Chain A
Amino acid sequence: DAGVIQSPRHEVTEMGQEVTLRCKPISGHDYLFWYRQTMMRGLELLIYFNNNVPIDDSGMPEDRFSAKMPNASFSTLKIQPSEPRDSAVYFCASTYTGELFFGEGSRLTVL
């Protein structure tokens, strides 16, 4: 298996633009997580899904953030409109045993 695949790896955008981050979990994994990593706040859990259903989105910072999982092999995290404080590395992770497998992350820079 190729592991958790995220795209894009790097994104630079201007404030106010819409950003969409994508994730393909490992086949057969029934949990999918979105984390955000910054120097100031460390790793924060944003939202997680079980069998494509959002279970806990209490970590989503505000209404500008939304996440979807239309099927077992694809998830998106959308920020609209983006702000400079959204600059971070966003990680997707999946599991079926409790051991999280992380993607390589999407580094977002909002100017």
Chain B
Amino acid sequence: AQSVTQLDSQVPVFEEAPVELRCNYSSSVSVYLFWYVQYPNQGLQLLLKYLSGSTLVESINGFEAEFNKSQTSFHLRKPSVHISDTAEYFCAVSASSNTGKLIFGQGTTLQVKP
């Protein structure tokens, strides 16, 4: 079985500052890792994913995450956040790359202040 722990429930940060949202997972099998973002009153949207290959993956809006197998982590980072990045972020793990069966963490609320 897999599980995901997001270490921070809320992360307040000022605009243009860097941010890191932490995610640790546990699994007895190879995993595929995802970050989803949820804006208020909306469904979740895929931000980025690690399936194989390079351990550093990037999104189109400046976020990146690094798969660290030895530390069982998949932390999300952005060097400079915008007000529009305010949202809830979910880390998720799957034992399959293509079924969509994901186990989600509890979520981290990113609050970007002006």
Q: Which residues of A contact B (CB under 8 A)?
A: 4, 31, 33, 35, 42-43, 45, 48, 50, 56, 91, 93-95, 97-100, 102-105
Which of A48, A50, A97, A105 is the one whose CB lies under 8 Å from B43?
A105
Give the total number of A-B pairs whose CB atoms are below 8 A apart: 58
A88, chain B: closest CB distance, angstroms: 14
Chain B residues whose C-beta falls within 8 Å of the C-beta of A102 in the assembled complex: 43-45
> For the complex, is B26 an interface residue (Cβ under 8 Å from A)?
no
Chain A residues whose C-beta falls within 8 Å of the C-beta of B101 in the assembled complex: 31, 33, 45, 48, 56
Chain A residues whose C-beta falls within 8 Å of the C-beta of B46 in the assembled complex: 99-100
Name 30 A/B residue pairs within 8 A (Cβ), A-sorted: A4-B43, A31-B100, A31-B101, A42-B104, A43-B44, A43-B107, A45-B101, A48-B100, A48-B101, A56-B101, A91-B43, A93-B100, A94-B100, A95-B99, A95-B100, A98-B32, A98-B51, A98-B94, A98-B96, A98-B97, A98-B99, A98-B100, A99-B46, A100-B36, A100-B46, A100-B102, A102-B43, A102-B45, A104-B41, A104-B43
Chain B residues whose C-beta falls within 8 Å of the C-beta of A31 in the assembled complex: 99-101
Q: Given A31-B99, A33-B101, answer yes or no on A43-B90 (Cβ-Cβ < 8 Å).
A: yes
A104, chain B: closest CB distance, angstroms: 5
A19, chain B: closest CB distance, angstroms: 19
Which of A43, A48, A98, A104 is the one whose CB lies under 8 Å from B42?
A104
Q: Contact flags (1/0) for B75-102 with A, using CB distance below 8 Å?
A: 0000000000000001000101111111
Question: B98's closest neighbor in chain A, by CB?
Answer: A98
Which of B43, B49, B96, B103 is the one whose CB lies under 8 Å from A45?
B103
Question: B106's closest neighbor in chain A, by CB?
Answer: A42
- Would you call B98 and A42 a contact (CB within 8 A)? no
- Would you call B41 and A42 a contact (CB within 8 A)? no
Measured CA separation A50–B42 after assembly (Å): 25
Question: B100's closest neighbor in chain A, by CB?
Answer: A95
A95-B100, A98-B96, A104-B41 given; name 20 further pairs at CB < 8 Å.
A33-B101, A42-B105, A42-B107, A43-B90, A45-B102, A50-B99, A56-B101, A91-B43, A93-B100, A98-B32, A98-B49, A98-B97, A98-B98, A98-B100, A99-B46, A100-B44, A100-B100, A104-B43, A105-B42, A105-B43
